[in-house]
Homo-oligomer: A and B are copies of this chain.
């Protein structure tokens, strides 16, 4: 008896909207079937079945019977039966989740082959060699995927046979050779599973379905979902589809194509194909593919039909489609379609051009761009003025440039990346197993594979530069070296790659930020029309301020003054901290006043007419001194080697100071406004520098808009005192300068208590800026310095936290932000409320901040466009639909 639930859907039962039930692939196969495109018949097992399998560890009741029913119906429709010795049906069994996870899960092709079916296939095709090749491919794939036999064993057998037969290429093997190979493969299966290869196609089918279910939970799929924040409980569907063969001779072919260029967005069909091949050969990049245009020459009628179908699909989906097709002995089959992944530049161009053509609206265009992906447009490029000598060129598979040390395997890439090194992962070709190394790398370089190869697709999704198919590069991964035209490059050597041009260069090329395209400006302009949330930038220098302004920032939300205390100013800062008397301290403060004033003049100039929020000194003073442990060891060494007291004394004095200032938990110690209260002279100097800079510019005709921000306030009294002290200095400076400058004094809300008592704090604040970095640290009790290395990865892996709370604002922390907003506005309805933590540049967080009702977010200059777009999408109420 079948269960009451429906688990299996024929392709003609579904639509594109059913992707949560049928998976993306199944839903789109159904949709293509529905609109009359030539899709090989089949059926889909729902994601619900997979989820029940994970909950109970077994197939749900009734599933087997439903599969059986649909299999029979398929056999009836096709007039063929699985395993039939006369005219056997062969099917593929493919995973297909709601969101594309390319290459992450398992697939079985040619299912239904056995010693009977081979006869039928040979008879039907008249091609014994093809039949045995299909058979051996099936055993190999089934053995690896379903029976979990090490794939290398099959490869070794092929190589052994080729050697024995004196064959160079796989294609040199004859039908008889392949027959022998089938036997060898069967032996491998028997030796490694303890039983004969399963010849019953029904058993093959059920085992394959279960293997696909299982592959939803394999490590690389789990990693992928973590990376792309795809929930674990969606499950995968399984598509059982009649096999068609692109490898039935020279009137057969298989290919992958996009309706537009996914790298540039240009409105031209774009793809690769191989004559006489199976689809896996194209995707895996094993053979060098032909560009789609060549098909017009080789098979003109079929090419026209394909192009017509592509046009139908694009009009139907109103978006660029990614299509797999096969031509079997002169007949075109559409095997799969989905909304195609694209680079950010392509996404923008396609959306803009589709608006122009009236295919979509401006709002849809704005909704379609993935803000995270915009980041790749803002990646640096080779400096055009740099004199570079190109070592070799590959395909420009994912734009942007990168510089890093060459590494030859993913583990090393990850390890070096975690230690802070920038690396270029260099591989013959990447596989899903390399994912963690790609995440860690600055860029990816492969010597093989096309623009639709694994490396290219994944790198584009990640927004990482990628050069692929650079076939002049000969990789010796065992010895960790590659050679190009006699030049050797070893692991650790620095190279530069440019994924926009495909260039590979030895050494570090100077990088420059890219110029945004005209579509970039156009669509962000539309976003600006839509959004209600302001976007400012975090910037500590005139350069960053200008950059942020170029990217559309409407002011500075956070200028950190401590960054101005480093570099050549450090000795002055140390003099101030270590001053033995008031004179020494005053002298240091006077010097700092001068340089800080110049800093502020530059920033105010860059942001003329826009608000500039300057945060007074925040970190603990001991951060400006050497580390206690280093000093102590140095002194111990000096003492033991009998250094004279005259040399030791100043070191010891410094150590004394460092020890006096040492703190158990500096994050929770003497910093922020606590410094302002215990060392009032520092804040007074900073306020003076700010106001002197503003007054000077005002005199010169500028329009500085000053916002002084006092950090780390926990209690209204702290802000009250510091506000009064600041106002005294401000009044002095204004009186002395003779010009009036408007200014505001506000605070960061970054301490939980401040959020809880924001109604009180608002009585003495002109604005709030939520410092969500520290607020996250304190709300969670997480020291970012410690937990990211120690236990956060484990927390993410076990899904204790849905995402890194330092990247995407956590709901609990967001509740504190909301509380702070509501309480602040209860006291002062027109209180300006911003966010200046890193979350201000995270699209998902930006949407939450919009919902909470903040006035603006502030983020690093390069994140400003993302924030503008995300803010618009927040108004439109829908997430991006571009890339998932």
Stretch among A47-55, A127-135, A178-186, A752-760 lining the B interface:
A752-760
For A361, list chain B residues within 8 Å (CB): none
Question: Contact check: which of B629, B641, B715, B812 meets A756 at CB < 8 Å?
Answer: B812
- Could you tell me which residues of chain A, from 775 to 805, have a CB within 8 Å of some CB in chain B? 777-783, 785-787, 790-791, 794-795, 798-801
Question: Most chain-B Cβ atoms within 10 A of its Cβ — which of A636, A668, A777?
Answer: A668
CB distance from A465 to the nearest CB of B (A): 33
CB distance from A303 to the nearest CB of B (A): 54
B786 & A668 in contact (Cβ 8 Å cutoff): yes
B798 & A721 in contact (Cβ 8 Å cutoff): yes
Question: Most chain-B Cβ atoms within 10 A of its Cβ — which of A712, A721, A781, A799?
Answer: A781
**Size range of the chain A interface in the assembly:** 35 or more
For A665, list chain B residues within 8 Å (CB): 665-668, 783, 785-786
Q: Does A677 contact B (CB under 8 A)?
A: yes
Q: Does A718 contact B (CB under 8 A)?
A: yes
In the bound complex, CA of A678 to CA of B797 (Å)? 12
Question: Contact check: which of B637, B678, B712, B799 meets A781 at CB < 8 Å?
Answer: B712
For A637, list chain B residues within 8 Å (CB): 636, 640
In the bound complex, CA of A204 to CA of B602 (Å)? 63
In the bound complex, CA of A400 to CA of B411 (Å)? 69
Question: Contact check: which of B632, B751, B785, B810 meets A629 at CB < 8 Å?
Answer: B632
Q: Does A714 contact B (CB under 8 A)?
A: yes
For A633, list chain B residues within 8 Å (CB): 632-633, 636
Chain B proximity mask over A640-668: 1 for CB below 8 Å, otherwise 0: 11000000000000000000000111111
For A641, list chain B residues within 8 Å (CB): 640
For A790, list chain B residues within 8 Å (CB): 663, 669-670, 674, 678
Q: Does A412 contact B (CB under 8 A)?
A: no
A800 & B717 in contact (Cβ 8 Å cutoff): yes
A779 & B752 in contact (Cβ 8 Å cutoff): yes
CB distance from A718 to the nearest CB of B (A): 6
CB distance from A224 to the nearest CB of B (A): 22
Copies in the complex: 2
In the bound complex, CA of A798 to CA of B678 (Å)? 11
A787 & B753 in contact (Cβ 8 Å cutoff): no
- Could you tell me which residues of chain A, from 561 to 577, have a CB within 8 Å of some CB in chain B? none
Across the two chains, which residue of chain B brings its CB closest to A814? B756
In the bound complex, CA of A325 to CA of B843 (Å)? 79
CB distance from A714 to the nearest CB of B (A): 5
In the bound complex, CA of A813 to CA of B637 (Å)? 47
Question: Contact check: which of B628, B667, B712, B815 meets A664 at CB < 8 Å?
Answer: B667
For A779, list chain B residues within 8 Å (CB): 714, 751-753, 756, 778
In the bound complex, CA of A811 to CA of B756 (Å)? 10
For A629, list chain B residues within 8 Å (CB): 628-629, 632
Q: Does A816 contact B (CB under 8 A)?
A: yes
For A750, list chain B residues within 8 Å (CB): 781
Q: Does A766 contact B (CB under 8 A)?
A: no
B664 & A753 in contact (Cβ 8 Å cutoff): no
CB distance from A712 to the nearest CB of B (A): 7
Q: Does A31 contact B (CB under 8 A)?
A: no
Across the two chains, which residue of chain B brings its CB closest to A816? B756
CB distance from A763 to the nearest CB of B (A): 15
A677 & B777 in contact (Cβ 8 Å cutoff): no
B787 & A670 in contact (Cβ 8 Å cutoff): yes
Q: Does A774 contact B (CB under 8 A)?
A: yes
Known: A663-B790, A717-B800. 7 other contacts (CB 8 A): A633-B633, A664-B786, A665-B667, A666-B786, A667-B783, A751-B781, A753-B780
Q: Which 6 A-B pairs rank lowest in CB-CB distance, beginning with the nearest?
A: A668-B783, A665-B783, A752-B752, A669-B786, A753-B812, A664-B785
A-B contact pairs, 11 of them (CB 8 A): A665-B667, A667-B781, A670-B786, A678-B791, A715-B800, A715-B801, A717-B799, A721-B800, A751-B780, A753-B780, A774-B781
